[in-house]
Amino acid sequence: MTLVNGDLIADLEARNLIHDSTDREYLRAQVAEGPTGVYYGCDPTADSLHVGNLIGLVVLRRFQDAGHRAIALAGGATGMVGDPGGRSEERNLLDEETLTYNVAKIKEQLGRIVDLTDEQRGTLVDNRDWTHPITILEFLRDVGKHVTVNQMLARESIKVRINSEHGISFTEFSYMLLQANDYLWLHDHLGCTIQIGGSDQWGNIISGVDLIRRKRQAHVHAFSWPLLTAADGTKLGKTTGARVWLDPAKTSPYQFRQHWMQTADDDVEAQLLTFSLRPVDEIRAVAARHAEAPQRRLGQKTLADDMVTLVHGAAAATAANEAADLLFSKDPTGASEVAFATLAGEIPHSRMRASELDDTVGVLVATELAQSNGDARRTLAQHAVYANGVQLGEKDQLSDQKLLHGRYLLLRKGKKSHHLVEIDR
């Protein structure tokens, strides 16, 4: 792992991944001293993590690659309460069965990014395991006693909700106490000395640092990164901003790739620094080459390749790339069968019998590439229809075109309208 000046904190700083932090030099010394536990938490309020969680998972991966223990926390208990940060109203509470299912799904996604095969290198924990046994009296005595209401009211996320139309329930008000207790438990049982999270979590994170100092007289550390926002400035998450999921059943690898391909030229370097595991110097070299010829989209392609590979694996990245190339290639004949299968899930797709291809006009109408028989004939006369890359005229028949991989016929009208026909064998 190549770091800026061999210093993980300096590397994170160069990537603009530290927004707020406890004593920076003390944090740097702790990281340099040797392996320690680093924790990032997310509530399993859905059965998939999303691109907003990806920063935390990638930062965990960076710490793991540098020899530290990555601790991912699925908030089965806090998910029952709901974090008020970044929200205008209280979220719906989930039952045990749903939370258990969500945690299991999240573990699958997380395990593709952070190595969970060796518990000393990486582990997933659920805060229900230590929160459920605590009685309300024990919690008030062991946690609530050490936190003043003044401190809680001073947190920005609490102030925003108190002054909002919906206000804040006592349930959500207590969220930061539960999260503080999580850090205490992880510190006591897993040797965790660093908590990380988005800047909207900073108040909750600091509550844990303060609780450990008061109860254990120990100094622990924390830092946050700048909040990832959607194009409209809203927090990028499950219920705000664009929904880009890590579960391939919700956001396919192809759609995931297209998300990164839509990155603005001005944002490419920052996005690569934030998300890519490439060394900083290599990323800056890619950004410089991108700036020389933005139309080649080298930066977006590098970002998309890196992220699909990280989240879904190399095979999925290859298939997504091939499917994208297939849509815009003048000659699709070299595309793999996997690329066509991937494309079938992304663009309009029909199954037909081979005999139906004798009626080219009928096929264009059936696939909605033409609105009527007359429209289909005019489109063919204008040579605006392509079949597997071959430009068709008004006398050409689809039945004369060679099927790719013995069954696929990719139709295109103009530059942007596509339909994939699969011939039943």
Query: DSSP for 40-57?
Result: EEE--SSSS-BHHHHHHH
Distances (CA, A) of 115 to 68, 127, 203: 12, 20, 29
Q: Which residue has the tokens 């998910």?
A: 79
Residues 8 and 62: their CA atoms lie apart, in Å, by 8
Please report the pLDDT score of residue 242 as a whole number.
57
Work out whether the CA dihedral 237, 239, 240, 241 comes out positive or negative: positive
Q: The pTM is what?
A: 0.87
Please report the pLDDT score of residue 238 as a whole number.
45
Please report the pLDDT score of residue 241 as a whole number.
45
Identify any residues that bridge with 21 across adjacent strands, giving them in sequence order: 223
Average pLDDT per run of 10 along the chain, which is 425 residues long?
Answer: 85 97 96 96 91 95 97 88 55 78 92 95 96 95 93 85 85 90 98 96 93 97 86 52 85 96 96 97 98 97 98 95 87 90 94 95 96 96 95 93 95 94 89
Contacts of 266 (CB under 8 A, 6+ apart): none
Residues 15 and 21: their CA atoms lie apart, in Å, by 15
Contacts of 163 (CB under 8 A, 6+ apart): none
Residue 249 near residue 49 (C-beta atoms within 8 A): no
Work out whether the CA dihedral 141, 207, 194, 99 comes out positive or negative: positive
Residues 264 and 140: their CA atoms lie apart, in Å, by 49
Position 37, amino acid: G
Please report the pLDDT score of residue 239 as a whole number.
44
Q: What are phi and psi of 215, to 5 degrees?
A: -90, -35
Residues 366 and 352: their CA atoms lie apart, in Å, by 10
